[in-house]
Amino acid sequence: MSTAVDTSAAVPLPAEGDGTPLKKRLRRAERRRNLLFGALILPLALVVLVAFIWPIGSLLTIGVDNPEIHDNLPRTLAALEDWNGSAPPAEAAFRALADELAAAKGSPAIAAIAKRLNRENAGYRSLVMKTARKLPLDAAVPAREALVAIDAQWGELATWQAIHRAGGALTPFYLLAAIDRVIDADGNIVAAPEDERIYVDVLLRTFWMSLIVTVCCLTLGFSVAYLMASLSTRHSNMLMIFVLLPFWTSVLVRVAAWIVLLQNEGLVNRLLMWLGLTDSPLQLLFNRFGVYVAMVHILLPFMVLPLYSVMKGISPVYMRAALSLGCPPFRSFWKIYFPQTLPGIGAGGLLVFIMCMGYYITPALLGGPKEQMLSYFIAFYTNQTINWGMAAALSAVLLAATLLLYMVYARYLGPTRVKYMKAR
């Protein structure tokens, strides 16, 4: 019935005579096992590091990268190294600048230098371009006089201070711009000009919209989870289908469905008019309302699932005890039941809030310009205006906010529970 297996060959018993103590050999076997299983992680770890962590890291460095002056005018910067900034720089600096601008002439580098210096002071772009047109200089003439002859601004301290300031390898410019701050000529961090202050608004809007959606999801999700937890497993499993099917349905399908429902001739407007609540169709799409409705619809399952799993574990005994001791029903709910659901509320709330903050598709398809959140601007700067520095800085802000909240979340439920989370 059974084939004879020579077990002694498959598992060699610890031989006594070879001198190595058993303990040591066991440790060695343990180490080999560890290496073997550790090696199984390697392929995935490599793929994730190379194709995910590295790209994100290099994106973040783009946000502080400042190569224009640093890479294109290295000799000028070297000549300015010991400059105290209170007297005009030495002739060597003028000569180096004239040579390097002449070398950059006609290549994309000159435009990069001009654009970068223009950020320090509007007007430097034309200064650089005008100077470059008249270069190279005659080697016999002192470079200082020749440059000042081309434009008197080369004789001003402010021009050289701007080059000096813009010459660092790294810049906080984009990160500060992402919170509506700029560095003025004296090196102080000040508020950006009124008409350029948009990102703090966008950031606050992102937080505000996420908060509204989270509160709506919490209110609706709490009732659903509460009822499901109080029903028998058979019944609650049936209700669960109503939560899980939308959860598994494509976001785009749901967005399309809301367009059908909320458009001017849509079912919701027809119903409202039939009920006599309004005479003409209401504008329900391409505004805040449409975005809120669709986002609550998409994210509600993410609230119900953690709430339900927490409520399912709450023993009904405590509520019964409170009631039998004469505590009024609502008071016992508030004092006894509700505090036990707090882990679920925290987890579900943070999960929905985190996912909300990164939303792009729903506001892009259902919202107007005033509904666009941080993600929209990141995509905008990447694809439309090719301002990668700004896209990177805004990404850093969004990433920081997300990771911060995620760390709070991980403390509540632990990392394995995030399987509810579908990246959207």
Partner 1 sequence: MLQPYASPVERAWYFGMRGLVGLILAFLFLPILVIVPLSFNADSFLMYPMSGFSLRWYEEFATSPAWRQALMNSLIVSPLATLLAMVLGTLASIGLVRAEFPGKALLTAVLISPMVVPVVVIGVAMYIFFAPLGLTGSYTGLVLAHAILGVPFVVTTVTATLQGFDFNLVRAASSLGANPITTFFRVTLPMVAPGIISGGLFAFATSFDEVVVTLFLASPEQATLPRQMFAGIRENISPTIAAVATILIVLSTLMLMTLEWLRRRAERMRGARR
Site for partner 1 in 381-420 (CB under 8 A): 382-383, 388, 391-392, 395, 398-399, 402-403, 406, 415-416, 418-419
136 binds partner 1 (CB under 8 A): no
70 binds partner 1 (CB under 8 A): no
Among 130, 197, 320, 424, binds partner 1 (CB under 8 A): 424
107 binds partner 1 (CB under 8 A): no
334 binds partner 1 (CB under 8 A): no
Phi/psi of residue 183, each to 5°? Answer: -100, 125
Stretch that binds partner 1, among 5-13, 132-140, 167-175, 310-318 (CB under 8 A): 5-13
Task: Tell me the closest approach of the beta carbon of residue 117 to partner 1, in angstroms.
Answer: 25
Closer to partner 1 by CB, 88 or 266: give it: 266
Stretch that binds partner 1, among 111-119, 134-142, 155-163, 236-244 (CB under 8 A): 236-244
- Residues 241 and 234: beta-carbon distance below 8 Å: no
- Residues 262 and 284: beta-carbon distance below 8 Å: yes
Identity of the residue numbered 137: L
The angle formed by the CA atoms of residues 245, 249 and 253, to the nearest 5 degrees, is 135
56 binds partner 1 (CB under 8 A): yes
**Selection from 419, 410, 295 nearest residue 358 by Cα:** 295
300 binds partner 1 (CB under 8 A): yes
Peptide bond into 142 cis (omega under 30): no
Pairwise CA distance, residues 109 & 125, whole Å: 13
- Tell me which residues in 169-228 interact with partner 1 (CB under 8 A): 220, 223-224, 226-227
349 binds partner 1 (CB under 8 A): no
Task: Tell me the closest approach of the beta carbon of residue 174 to partner 1, in angstroms.
Answer: 14
Among 7, 86, 315, 384, binds partner 1 (CB under 8 A): 7
If one counts every other C-beta atom within 10 angstroms of the C-beta of residue 45, the result is 12
If one counts every other C-beta atom within 10 angstroms of the C-beta of residue 328, the result is 11
- Tell me which residues in 32-51 interact with partner 1 (CB under 8 A): 33-35, 37-45, 47-49, 51
Closer to partner 1 by CB, 179 or 259: give it: 259
Annotate 89-121 with DSSP letters as a single string.
Answer: PPHHHHHHHHHHHHHHTTSHHHHHHHHHHHHHS
Burial environment of residue 125 by CB neighbours within 10 A (0 to 12, 13 to 18, 19 or more): middle
Among 94, 174, 258, 412, binds partner 1 (CB under 8 A): 258
Pairwise CA distance, residues 127 & 147, whole Å: 11
Task: Tell me the closest approach of the beta carbon of residue 346 to partner 1, in angstroms.
Answer: 17
Closer to partner 1 by CB, 54 or 338: give it: 54
Among 118, 121, 236, 263, binds partner 1 (CB under 8 A): 263
Stretch that binds partner 1, among 77-85, 152-160, 259-267, 305-313 (CB under 8 A): 259-267
Pairwise CA distance, residues 96 & 84, whole Å: 18
- Residues 406 and 353: beta-carbon distance below 8 Å: no
Pairwise CA distance, residues 144 & 97, whole Å: 10
Closer to partner 1 by CB, 5 or 87: give it: 5
Among 14, 55, 67, 74, binds partner 1 (CB under 8 A): 55
Among 297, 332, 350, 367, binds partner 1 (CB under 8 A): 297
Q: Specify the DSSP element, H or E, that contains 181.
A: strand 181-183
DSSP reduced 3-state for 257: helix
- Residues 95 and 129: beta-carbon distance below 8 Å: no
The residue count for the chain: 424
Size of the site for partner 1 (CB under 8 A): 93
